[in-house]
Amino acid sequence: MSVAEIIFVRGATEGINLVANSLCRSSYFNEGDEIIISHMEHHSNIVPWQLLCNRKKLHLKVVPVNNKGEFIFEEYEKLISEKTKLVSIVHISNALGTINPVKKIVDKAHEYNIPVLLDGAQAVPHTKVDVQKLDCDFYVFSGHKVFGPTGIGVLYGKTEFLDKMEPFQGGGDMISEVTFEKTTYDDLPQKFEAGTPNIVGGIALGAAIDYLTSFDMKEISEHEEKLLKYGTEKLLEIEGLKIIGTSEHKASVISFVIDGIHPYDIGTIIDTDGIAIRTGHHCTMPLIKRFNLSATARASFSMYNKIEEIDHLYNALLKVKKMFS
Protein backbone atom coordinates (compact mmCIF):
# COMPACT_ATOMS: atom_id res chain seq x y z
CA MET A 1 0.00 0.00 0.00
CA SER A 2 1.26 3.52 -0.70
CA VAL A 3 0.30 6.99 0.52
CA ALA A 4 -1.10 7.55 -2.98
CA GLU A 5 -3.97 5.29 -1.95
CA ILE A 6 -4.96 7.39 1.08
CA ILE A 7 -7.26 10.29 0.31
CA PHE A 8 -8.30 12.73 2.99
CA VAL A 9 -12.02 13.45 2.94
CA ARG A 10 -14.51 14.96 5.38
CA GLY A 11 -15.58 11.55 6.65
CA ALA A 12 -17.02 8.19 5.64
CA THR A 13 -19.96 9.91 3.95
CA GLU A 14 -17.77 12.02 1.71
CA GLY A 15 -15.56 9.03 0.93
CA ILE A 16 -18.55 7.04 -0.33
CA ASN A 17 -19.89 10.02 -2.29
CA LEU A 18 -16.45 10.49 -3.82
CA VAL A 19 -16.36 6.90 -5.07
CA ALA A 20 -19.96 7.05 -6.34
CA ASN A 21 -19.45 10.34 -8.19
CA SER A 22 -15.99 9.59 -9.54
CA LEU A 23 -16.97 6.18 -10.86
CA CYS A 24 -20.04 7.79 -12.41
CA ARG A 25 -17.94 10.45 -14.20
CA SER A 26 -15.54 7.80 -15.42
CA SER A 27 -18.40 6.14 -17.32
CA TYR A 28 -17.88 3.04 -15.21
CA PHE A 29 -21.61 2.42 -14.99
CA ASN A 30 -24.04 1.77 -17.82
CA GLU A 31 -27.81 1.89 -17.75
CA GLY A 32 -29.24 -1.24 -16.12
CA ASP A 33 -26.12 -2.01 -14.06
CA GLU A 34 -26.59 -3.05 -10.45
CA ILE A 35 -25.04 -2.05 -7.13
CA ILE A 36 -25.35 -4.35 -4.12
CA ILE A 37 -25.66 -3.00 -0.59
CA SER A 38 -27.20 -4.61 2.51
CA HIS A 39 -30.25 -3.96 4.63
CA MET A 40 -28.06 -2.82 7.53
CA GLU A 41 -26.36 0.12 5.82
CA HIS A 42 -26.04 3.56 7.36
CA HIS A 43 -27.85 6.17 5.26
CA SER A 44 -24.45 7.30 4.03
CA ASN A 45 -24.07 3.96 2.25
CA ILE A 46 -27.58 4.06 0.80
CA VAL A 47 -28.33 7.59 -0.37
CA PRO A 48 -25.19 8.20 -2.49
CA TRP A 49 -25.97 5.02 -4.44
CA GLN A 50 -29.63 5.98 -4.80
CA LEU A 51 -28.60 9.35 -6.22
CA LEU A 52 -26.30 7.56 -8.61
CA CYS A 53 -28.99 5.03 -9.57
CA ASN A 54 -31.40 7.84 -10.36
CA ARG A 55 -28.82 9.67 -12.44
CA LYS A 56 -27.53 6.67 -14.39
CA LYS A 57 -30.64 4.45 -14.37
CA LEU A 58 -28.96 1.77 -12.28
CA HIS A 59 -30.59 -0.62 -9.83
CA LEU A 60 -29.87 -0.93 -6.14
CA LYS A 61 -30.02 -4.51 -4.83
CA VAL A 62 -30.29 -5.08 -1.11
CA VAL A 63 -28.97 -8.13 0.75
CA PRO A 64 -31.51 -8.96 3.48
CA VAL A 65 -30.65 -9.54 7.13
CA ASN A 66 -32.07 -12.31 9.31
CA ASN A 67 -33.87 -11.87 12.62
CA LYS A 68 -30.55 -11.75 14.47
CA GLY A 69 -29.46 -8.86 12.27
CA GLU A 70 -26.97 -10.93 10.31
CA PHE A 71 -26.05 -10.53 6.65
CA ILE A 72 -27.58 -13.44 4.73
CA PHE A 73 -24.66 -14.62 2.63
CA GLU A 74 -26.69 -17.04 0.48
CA GLU A 75 -28.98 -14.17 -0.54
CA TYR A 76 -25.92 -12.08 -1.42
CA GLU A 77 -24.66 -14.87 -3.67
CA LYS A 78 -28.05 -14.98 -5.38
CA LEU A 79 -28.02 -11.21 -6.03
CA ILE A 80 -24.65 -11.23 -7.79
CA SER A 81 -25.07 -11.27 -11.55
CA GLU A 82 -23.26 -10.12 -14.68
CA LYS A 83 -25.01 -6.77 -14.14
CA THR A 84 -23.38 -6.20 -10.72
CA LYS A 85 -20.79 -3.43 -10.95
CA LEU A 86 -20.09 -2.68 -7.30
CA VAL A 87 -20.68 -4.07 -3.81
CA SER A 88 -20.76 -1.63 -0.89
CA ILE A 89 -21.17 -3.05 2.59
CA VAL A 90 -20.77 -1.90 6.17
CA HIS A 91 -17.93 -3.64 8.04
CA ILE A 92 -19.58 -3.34 11.47
CA SER A 93 -23.18 -2.17 11.85
CA ASN A 94 -23.46 1.00 13.92
CA ALA A 95 -27.07 0.20 14.81
CA LEU A 96 -26.78 -3.46 15.83
CA GLY A 97 -23.07 -4.15 16.23
CA THR A 98 -23.13 -6.98 13.69
CA ILE A 99 -19.65 -7.79 12.40
CA ASN A 100 -20.05 -8.70 8.77
CA PRO A 101 -18.03 -11.47 7.09
CA VAL A 102 -16.32 -8.86 4.96
CA LYS A 103 -13.41 -11.00 3.77
CA LYS A 104 -15.87 -13.59 2.48
CA ILE A 105 -17.98 -10.84 0.90
CA VAL A 106 -14.94 -9.38 -0.86
CA ASP A 107 -13.68 -12.79 -2.05
CA LYS A 108 -17.08 -13.70 -3.48
CA ALA A 109 -17.37 -10.41 -5.38
CA HIS A 110 -13.82 -10.77 -6.69
CA GLU A 111 -14.69 -14.16 -8.17
CA TYR A 112 -16.79 -12.07 -10.57
CA ASN A 113 -14.28 -9.18 -10.79
CA ILE A 114 -16.63 -6.88 -8.91
CA PRO A 115 -14.98 -4.21 -6.73
CA VAL A 116 -16.01 -3.87 -3.09
CA LEU A 117 -16.25 -0.79 -0.89
CA LEU A 118 -16.31 -1.33 2.86
CA ASP A 119 -17.76 1.25 5.21
CA GLY A 120 -15.44 1.01 8.19
CA ALA A 121 -16.79 3.97 10.18
CA GLN A 122 -17.75 1.70 13.04
CA ALA A 123 -15.02 -0.90 12.67
CA VAL A 124 -11.84 1.16 13.05
CA PRO A 125 -12.16 1.95 16.77
CA HIS A 126 -13.06 -1.64 17.68
CA THR A 127 -10.85 -3.89 15.64
CA LYS A 128 -7.58 -3.97 13.74
CA VAL A 129 -8.27 -3.35 10.07
CA ASP A 130 -5.86 -4.51 7.39
CA VAL A 131 -7.18 -3.39 4.01
CA GLN A 132 -4.60 -5.47 2.19
CA LYS A 133 -5.58 -8.66 3.97
CA LEU A 134 -9.25 -7.87 3.40
CA ASP A 135 -8.34 -7.13 -0.22
CA CYS A 136 -11.21 -4.63 -0.43
CA ASP A 137 -11.00 -2.09 -3.23
CA PHE A 138 -12.18 0.88 -1.16
CA TYR A 139 -12.40 1.45 2.59
CA VAL A 140 -13.75 4.55 4.34
CA PHE A 141 -13.78 5.79 7.92
CA SER A 142 -14.34 9.00 9.88
CA GLY A 143 -11.92 10.69 12.27
CA HIS A 144 -14.44 11.28 15.02
CA LYS A 145 -15.00 7.52 15.41
CA VAL A 146 -11.36 7.05 16.38
CA PHE A 147 -11.38 9.83 18.97
CA GLY A 148 -10.24 12.39 16.40
CA PRO A 149 -12.09 15.51 15.28
CA THR A 150 -15.16 15.77 13.09
CA GLY A 151 -14.82 16.86 9.49
CA ILE A 152 -11.86 14.63 8.62
CA GLY A 153 -11.76 11.05 7.43
CA VAL A 154 -10.04 8.72 5.04
CA LEU A 155 -10.86 6.97 1.80
CA TYR A 156 -8.50 4.13 0.96
CA GLY A 157 -8.69 3.04 -2.65
CA LYS A 158 -6.60 0.69 -4.74
CA THR A 159 -4.45 2.56 -7.24
CA GLU A 160 -5.82 0.48 -10.10
CA PHE A 161 -9.24 2.10 -9.50
CA LEU A 162 -8.15 5.56 -8.36
CA ASP A 163 -5.96 5.94 -11.44
CA LYS A 164 -8.90 5.33 -13.73
CA MET A 165 -11.40 7.45 -11.79
CA GLU A 166 -12.22 11.04 -12.73
CA PRO A 167 -11.88 13.58 -9.91
CA PHE A 168 -15.00 14.26 -7.89
CA GLN A 169 -14.12 17.92 -7.30
CA GLY A 170 -11.93 20.32 -9.23
CA GLY A 171 -9.87 23.29 -8.06
CA GLY A 172 -6.47 24.20 -6.72
CA ASP A 173 -4.02 21.62 -5.40
CA MET A 174 -5.37 18.81 -7.59
CA ILE A 175 -3.91 19.95 -10.89
CA SER A 176 -0.71 19.46 -12.80
CA GLU A 177 -1.38 22.08 -15.47
CA VAL A 178 -4.36 24.28 -16.23
CA THR A 179 -5.19 26.03 -19.48
CA PHE A 180 -8.60 27.23 -20.62
CA GLU A 181 -8.67 24.37 -23.08
CA LYS A 182 -7.60 21.52 -20.84
CA THR A 183 -6.49 20.62 -17.34
CA THR A 184 -4.22 17.76 -16.40
CA TYR A 185 -4.46 16.38 -12.90
CA ASP A 186 -1.86 15.91 -10.22
CA ASP A 187 -0.78 12.44 -9.12
CA LEU A 188 -2.63 10.48 -6.49
CA PRO A 189 -3.79 11.30 -3.89
CA GLN A 190 -3.81 15.04 -4.74
CA LYS A 191 -6.02 14.36 -7.77
CA PHE A 192 -8.88 13.79 -5.33
CA GLU A 193 -7.99 16.49 -2.79
CA ALA A 194 -9.12 19.72 -4.43
CA GLY A 195 -8.77 22.96 -2.50
CA THR A 196 -6.99 23.89 0.70
CA PRO A 197 -6.95 20.77 2.85
CA ASN A 198 -8.25 20.42 6.38
CA ILE A 199 -4.73 20.71 7.80
CA VAL A 200 -5.79 20.98 11.44
CA GLY A 201 -8.08 17.96 11.04
CA GLY A 202 -5.34 15.91 9.40
CA ILE A 203 -2.84 16.62 12.17
CA ALA A 204 -5.43 15.92 14.87
CA LEU A 205 -6.46 12.68 13.16
CA GLY A 206 -2.80 11.65 13.09
CA ALA A 207 -2.55 12.29 16.84
CA ALA A 208 -5.75 10.32 17.47
CA ILE A 209 -4.50 7.36 15.44
CA ASP A 210 -1.14 7.48 17.25
CA TYR A 211 -3.06 7.41 20.53
CA LEU A 212 -5.29 4.50 19.48
CA THR A 213 -2.44 2.48 18.03
CA SER A 214 -0.40 2.96 21.20
CA PHE A 215 -2.76 0.33 22.63
CA ASP A 216 -2.91 -3.27 21.54
CA MET A 217 -6.03 -3.46 19.33
CA LYS A 218 -6.41 -7.12 20.28
CA GLU A 219 -6.56 -6.14 23.94
CA ILE A 220 -9.12 -3.43 23.14
CA SER A 221 -11.29 -5.96 21.27
CA GLU A 222 -11.01 -8.46 24.14
CA HIS A 223 -11.91 -5.81 26.71
CA GLU A 224 -14.92 -4.70 24.65
CA GLU A 225 -16.01 -8.32 24.20
CA LYS A 226 -16.07 -8.70 27.99
CA LEU A 227 -18.15 -5.53 28.31
CA LEU A 228 -20.52 -6.77 25.60
CA LYS A 229 -20.96 -10.16 27.26
CA TYR A 230 -21.52 -8.69 30.71
CA GLY A 231 -23.76 -5.92 29.37
CA THR A 232 -25.89 -8.35 27.37
CA GLU A 233 -26.41 -10.66 30.36
CA LYS A 234 -27.12 -7.77 32.72
CA LEU A 235 -29.56 -5.94 30.47
CA LEU A 236 -31.46 -9.13 29.69
CA GLU A 237 -32.22 -9.41 33.43
CA ILE A 238 -34.54 -6.42 32.96
CA GLU A 239 -38.08 -7.58 32.36
CA GLY A 240 -39.52 -6.40 29.05
CA LEU A 241 -36.12 -5.48 27.62
CA LYS A 242 -35.36 -6.89 24.19
CA ILE A 243 -32.02 -6.69 22.43
CA ILE A 244 -32.20 -5.88 18.73
CA GLY A 245 -29.25 -7.43 16.94
CA THR A 246 -28.01 -10.71 18.34
CA SER A 247 -25.46 -11.68 15.74
CA GLU A 248 -22.97 -14.44 16.54
CA HIS A 249 -20.21 -11.98 15.62
CA LYS A 250 -20.90 -8.72 17.31
CA ALA A 251 -19.05 -5.57 18.36
CA SER A 252 -19.69 -3.81 21.66
CA VAL A 253 -23.02 -2.25 20.79
CA ILE A 254 -26.31 -3.11 22.49
CA SER A 255 -29.41 -1.81 20.76
CA PHE A 256 -32.51 -2.40 22.83
CA VAL A 257 -36.14 -1.57 23.44
CA ILE A 258 -38.19 -1.84 26.62
CA ASP A 259 -41.88 -2.73 26.45
CA GLY A 260 -44.12 0.29 26.77
CA ILE A 261 -41.31 2.87 27.07
CA HIS A 262 -40.20 5.00 24.15
CA PRO A 263 -36.44 4.91 23.53
CA TYR A 264 -36.37 8.73 23.62
CA ASP A 265 -37.73 8.63 27.17
CA ILE A 266 -35.12 6.06 28.16
CA GLY A 267 -32.34 8.21 26.74
CA THR A 268 -33.57 11.43 28.30
CA ILE A 269 -34.10 9.95 31.75
CA ILE A 270 -30.81 8.09 32.05
CA ASP A 271 -29.02 11.18 30.78
CA THR A 272 -29.88 12.74 34.13
CA ASP A 273 -27.91 9.89 35.71
CA GLY A 274 -24.89 10.84 33.62
CA ILE A 275 -25.31 8.08 31.06
CA ALA A 276 -25.11 8.99 27.40
CA ILE A 277 -26.71 6.54 25.01
CA ARG A 278 -28.01 7.14 21.52
CA THR A 279 -31.69 6.82 20.71
CA GLY A 280 -33.53 6.89 17.39
CA HIS A 281 -33.05 5.18 14.05
CA HIS A 282 -29.25 5.58 14.13
CA CYS A 283 -29.27 6.73 10.48
CA THR A 284 -30.39 3.22 9.53
CA MET A 285 -34.12 3.72 8.99
CA PRO A 286 -34.63 0.70 6.69
CA LEU A 287 -32.90 -1.56 9.21
CA ILE A 288 -34.92 -0.34 12.18
CA LYS A 289 -38.13 -0.73 10.15
CA ARG A 290 -37.02 -4.28 9.32
CA PHE A 291 -37.52 -5.00 13.04
CA ASN A 292 -40.94 -3.27 12.99
CA LEU A 293 -39.59 -0.41 15.08
CA SER A 294 -39.11 3.29 14.60
CA ALA A 295 -36.33 3.68 17.18
CA THR A 296 -34.10 1.82 19.61
CA ALA A 297 -31.96 2.84 22.54
CA ARG A 298 -28.30 2.00 21.94
CA ALA A 299 -25.54 1.66 24.45
CA SER A 300 -22.11 1.34 22.93
CA PHE A 301 -19.01 0.48 24.88
CA SER A 302 -15.53 1.64 24.09
CA MET A 303 -12.00 0.90 25.25
CA TYR A 304 -12.35 3.31 28.19
CA ASN A 305 -15.60 1.88 29.61
CA LYS A 306 -15.66 -0.19 32.79
CA ILE A 307 -17.85 -3.03 34.04
CA GLU A 308 -19.10 -0.78 36.90
CA GLU A 309 -20.51 1.59 34.29
CA ILE A 310 -22.68 -1.20 32.96
CA ASP A 311 -24.02 -1.72 36.49
CA HIS A 312 -24.73 2.01 36.57
CA LEU A 313 -26.62 1.70 33.26
CA TYR A 314 -28.55 -1.29 34.61
CA ASN A 315 -29.60 0.59 37.75
CA ALA A 316 -30.60 3.65 35.73
CA LEU A 317 -32.76 1.48 33.48
CA LEU A 318 -34.45 -0.05 36.52
CA LYS A 319 -35.29 3.51 37.64
CA VAL A 320 -36.80 4.21 34.21
CA LYS A 321 -38.91 1.06 34.50
CA LYS A 322 -40.13 2.13 37.91
CA MET A 323 -41.11 5.58 36.63
CA PHE A 324 -43.26 4.01 33.94
CA SER A 325 -44.80 1.25 36.05
Ligand X SMILES: Cc1ncc(COP(=O)(O)O)c(C=O)c1O
Spatial distance between the Cα atoms of 286 and 4, rounded to a whole number of angstroms: 36
* Sequential DSSP letters for 187-203: STTGGG--SS--HHHHH
Rounded Cα–Cα distance for residues 124 and 156 (Å): 13
Nearer to ligand X, 205 or 243 (CB): 205
Distance CA 247, CA 69 (A): 6
For residues 212 and 317, what is the distance between their CA atoms, to the nearest angstrom? 31
Other CB atoms within a 10 A radius of the CB of residue 274 amount to 9
Q: For residues 61 and 145, which CB has a smaller minimum distance to ligand X in the complex?
A: 145
Annotated catalytic residue, options 24, 53, 136, 283: 283
Q: Give, in degrees to the nearest 5, the angle at Cα 103 between 98 and 106.
A: 110
Residue 143 or 263: the one with the smaller Cβ distance to ligand X is 143
Give me the least distance between CB of 283 and ligand X, in Å please.
Answer: 6
Q: Which is nearer to ligand X, 57 or 128 (CB)?
A: 128
Shortest separation between residue 53's beta carbon and ligand X, angstroms? 19
In the complex, the residues that contact ligand X under the rule CB under 6 A are 11-13, 42, 44, 90, 94, 119, 121-122, 142, 283
Cis omega before residue 263 (within 30°)? no
Torsion of CA 260, 264, 270, 274, to 10 degrees: 170
Sheet arrangement for strand 6-9 = 6-9, 153-157, 138-142, 116-119, 84-90, 34-38, 59-63
Question: Of 196, 177, 176, 200, which Cα lies nearest the Cα of 188?
Answer: 176
Select 278 or 321, whichever has its Cβ closest to ligand X. Answer: 278
Q: What one-letter code names the amino acid at 123? A: A
Task: Provide, rounded to whole angstroms, the least separation between the CB of residue 278 and ligand X.
Answer: 9
Tell me how far, at minimum, the Cβ of 122 lies from ligand X, in Å: 4
- Could you confirm whether 136 is annotated as catalytic? no
Distance CA 148, CA 133 (A): 25
DSSP labels, 7-36: EEESSHHHHHHHHHHHHHHTT---TT-EEE
Please, which residue, 13 or 127, has the CB nearer to ligand X? Answer: 13
Nearest distance from residue 260's CB to ligand X, in Å? 28
CB of 241 to ligand X, least distance (A): 23
Q: Give the residue numbers annotated as catalytic, written as ranges.
A: 283
